[in-house]
Amino acid sequence: MTTQTLPNTKIAIVGYGSQGRAHALNLRESGFDVTVGLRPGGPTEAKAQADGFVVKTPAEAVKDADLVAVLTPDMVQRKLYDEVLKDNIKPGACLLFAHGLNVHFDLIKPREDIDVVLVAPKGPGALVRREYEIGRGVPCIYAVYQDKSGNAEALALAYAAGLGGARANIIKTTFKEETETDLFGEQAVLCGGASSLVQAGFETLVEAGYQPEIAYYEVLHELKLIVDLFYEGGITRMLEFISETAQYGDYVSGPRVIDAATKARMKDILTDIQDGTFTKNWIAEYEAGLPNYNRFKKADMEHPIEVVGKKLRAKMVWLSANASQPDADDATSTEKAAAA
């Protein structure tokens, strides 16, 4: 399908973490001419070569590309663009991002003679690859920021289809909407909200005298069962598969935990995202060497729920075969920064 739409499109994938590898492999198998741009001697160069890709420096990889996909961590993209991509992307080419933070908040100001688009699969790279291999796909969202050629939307759609997104669902958005909703979801619900809720629940039970192992199973381990039901059919399916006792507890106690004050704080988080406060603070933190980030991360990794969880998971023999791999493209630590 993609080869018929844009038969001669040459794509340069810059970055080869979980997302970069999945994009490169899926696009190649969809008929695109794919080159990978990586720092010579970097940790992923051998991996890309083993997968059969021509690997060049980012500067060389993008020179002949019709579309350049930037799939490196957010905090290295501005330097990558300013020092490497800006002067090497050919006129009329398309610059593609999988997350809009750098463009939306003006950290990257793209040249006016190129197209700028966004294509974001709604899943980690391993899932994007696995679903493609079995003949399905992960839904994608896309946006057009700059359309110099008049063909930017067609390029974004062809790229999304090449990932397998057309097999599932493709939704048009904007850089603003993708960036702000993505950051909010991570902070208020998926990562920040969920992990803090789990930790607070664990602490409440242990402080009341219950065994840490029992608390772990009740507030963390069993969460997967509920999330899987959410994923399969929303809140409706979750309610269909839990007991009436659990349903009643949901109705009367959920609003006591997540109340109007919680929602008001969520709105404050969204405001900080929308007005750039979060991004400004994150840039300052990164440029300072991540002192608070590392302190926060250390505290989470040393939390009692992690100590007891490590012991319990060691007995869950099924986990070793099914463990999810970290998505390097979304990593923000300094050791990941040079991966491109």
Q: Binding residue per annotation — 39?
A: yes
**One-letter amino acid for residue 193 of the chain:** G
Greatest pairwise CA separation for the chain in angstroms: 67
Q: Binding residue per annotation — 186?
A: yes
State the burial class of residue 178 (Cβ atoms within 10 Å of its Cβ: 0-12, 13-18, 19+). Answer: buried
Whether 99 sits among the annotated catalytic residues: the reply is yes
Alpha carbons 336 and 340: distance in angstroms, whole number: 9
Which of 99, 104, 221, 303 is catalytic? The answer is: 99
Q: Binding residue per annotation — 259?
A: no
**One-letter amino acid for residue 274 of the chain:** Q
Identify whether the C-beta of residue 186 lies closer than 8 Å to the C-beta of residue 192. Answer: yes
Q: Binding residue per annotation — 199?
A: no
Q: Binding residue per annotation — 35?
A: no
Q: Binding residue per annotation — 4?
A: no
DSSP string, 170-202: EEE--HHHHHHHHHHIIIIIITHHHHHHHHHHH
Q: Binding residue per annotation — 218?
A: yes
Alpha carbons 262 and 265: distance in angstroms, whole number: 5
Q: Please state, in angstroms and as integers, the Cα–Cα distance from residue 66 to each residue in 11, 102, 149, following that order.
A: 6, 21, 11
Q: Binding residue per annotation — 17?
A: yes
Q: Binding residue per annotation — 203?
A: no
Q: Is the dihedral of CA 300, 303, 306, 311 positive or negative?
A: positive
DSSP at 238: H
Alpha carbons 278 and 185: distance in angstroms, whole number: 14
Q: Binding residue per annotation — 243?
A: yes
Q: Binding residue per annotation — 142?
A: no
What φ, ψ does residue 55 adopt, rounded to 5°?
A: -110, 125
Q: Binding residue per annotation — 210?
A: no
Active site residues: 99
List the binding residues for substrate.
Answer: 243
Binding-site residues from annotation for Mg(2+): 182, 186, 218, 222
Q: Which residues are annotated as a binding site for NADP(+)?
A: 16-19, 39, 44, 125
Annotated binding site: 16-19, 39, 44, 125, 182, 186, 218, 222, 243
